[in-house]
Amino acid sequence: MKHFYFFIFFFVLFSCDSNKINSRSKKINTSSDKVLLYDGETNLKNIKQLTFTGDNAEAYWSFDDSKLVFQVKNSDWDLDCDQIFITDTNNYNMNIEIPDMISTGFGRTTCSYFLPGDTTILYASTHLSDSLCPSPPKKREDGKYVWPIYETFDIFISDLNGNIVNQLTNHAGYDAEATVSPNGDKIVFTSMRSGDLELYTCDIDGGNVFQVTSQLGYDGGAFFSNDGKKLVFRASRPSTEEEVLEYKTLLSQGLVKPTNMELYTCNIDGSELKQITFLGGANWAPFYHPSDKKIIFSSNHKSTRGFPFNLYMIDINGENLKQITYDAMFDSFPVFSNDGTKIVFSSNRNNGGTRNTNLFIADWSE
């Protein structure tokens, strides 16, 4: 969901023309062999790399699983700010060709998702406020890692040719991180309209807005279960006086500190709220397993220095934690296909010694 980039400082310094991407100085393996897999990654089969430069994240499947929509920040593609792109799931030519951009090319975008029928997508963008990319937070003297809550984010609906056909939100303050129920009837998103970062649902046309969460802290990155009855999301829950003061102070500055997050589930009406991880560190990017009995997510809870992030699986009752990937730096944004046979995720693997974060697709094996 929100592009929560712990790799926000990762960048590349390559040039490109409008049609082709120049070769890179580091050798990248473009095959789909075992070079792309690490020992212990037994759930992933037939892995293939989709992108090869820049920061590529939050890839989400069309309802028919034939396409992916994702966000990119890539100087090779003349992008200094995140924009939304669309591609076929079997497009393995993005190392030499740039796919179609579906966002306006202005402002900053995040969190795209297909709507029912696969002819429109939604995404959040700041382009109405300013055509330029909003400035990232300045490095803090206290060294804290913070993430900006741009108040100019609103949620838009676009056709597949990049034409905006509707504006879903028009509230003062942050509205973003929207995803769509597999049932095609509801949208969940994060908003600041209450004065805190809470989850809301609405009908597919934007009507019947309902506040789901109400506890102090950041609630975001929500996804529906496959049956459309539940939500899983990441949340901070400041509890001590010091934590509450820090949270409120940062929020008043349009910032959050995303380094302490746990995973929660609830019914779509907010009932039966339950914390399912107690791992410490940053646990985020959760997504329901096809069975709806487990959650896959990214975590750095084993790290002593902030990374690596790897993928883990846990039962919805918080038991049977299992490590899925074994990257030395970063794996996140895992999303199962609607038919449950494949998974797409972002990773630093096979980046030729750069800090590029790329998209990978694999068959899922139990």
Q: What is the pLDDT of residues 269-307, one digit of tens each?
A: 999 999 999 999 999 999 999 999 999 999 999 998 888
Residue 143 has pLDDT above 90, yes or no: no
Residue 273 sits in a domain whose CATH number is 2.120.10.30
Report if residue 62 sits inside a domain.
yes
Query: What is the full DSSP assignment across 111-162?
Result: EEEEPTTSSEEEEEE-TTT-SSPPPPPPPPTT----EE--TT-EEEEEETTS
Q: What is the CA radius of gyration of the chain?
A: 19
* pLDDT tier, 141 (very low <50, low <70, confident <90, very high otherwise): confident
Residue 20 has pLDDT above 50, yes or no: no
Token output for 45: 């089969």
Which DSSP helix (H) or strand (E) runs through 244? helix 241-252
Predicted pLDDT of residue 34: 64
Span 172-189, average pLDDT: 97
Predicted pLDDT of residue 137: 85
Decide: helix, strand or coil at residue 278.
Answer: coil
* pLDDT tier, 126 (very low <50, low <70, confident <90, very high otherwise): very high
* pLDDT tier, 29 (very low <50, low <70, confident <90, very high otherwise): low
Report if residue 21 sits inside a domain.
no
DSSP class of 23: P
Predicted pLDDT of residue 32: 55
Report if residue 11 sits inside a domain.
no
Q: What is the pLDDT of residues 33-87, one digit of tens each?
A: 568 999 999 999 999 999 999 999 999 999 999 999 999 999 999 999 999 999 9
Report if residue 25 sits inside a domain.
no
Q: Which residue has the tokens 């920040």?
A: 73
Q: With beta carbons less than 8 A apart as the criterion, state whether 259 and 282 touch.
A: yes
Predicted pLDDT of residue 352: 87
Residue 77: give the domain boundaries: 34-364
Backbone angles phi, psi at 216, to 5 degrees: -60, 130
Residue 271 backbone zone (phi > 0: left; psi -120 to 50: alpha; other: beta):
beta
Nearest CA among 23, 134, 132 for reference residue 76: 23
Report if residue 244 sits inside a domain.
yes
DSSP class of 133: P
Higher pLDDT pick, 38 / 137: 38
Both ends of the chain: CA-CA distance in Å?
A: 25
Report if residue 19 sits inside a domain.
no
Span 100-124, average pLDDT: 97
How many CB atoms are closer than 10 A to CB 42?
A: 10
Report if residue 23 sits inside a domain.
no
Total count of domains within the chain: 1
CA distance 244 to 250: 10
Report if residue 24 sits inside a domain.
no
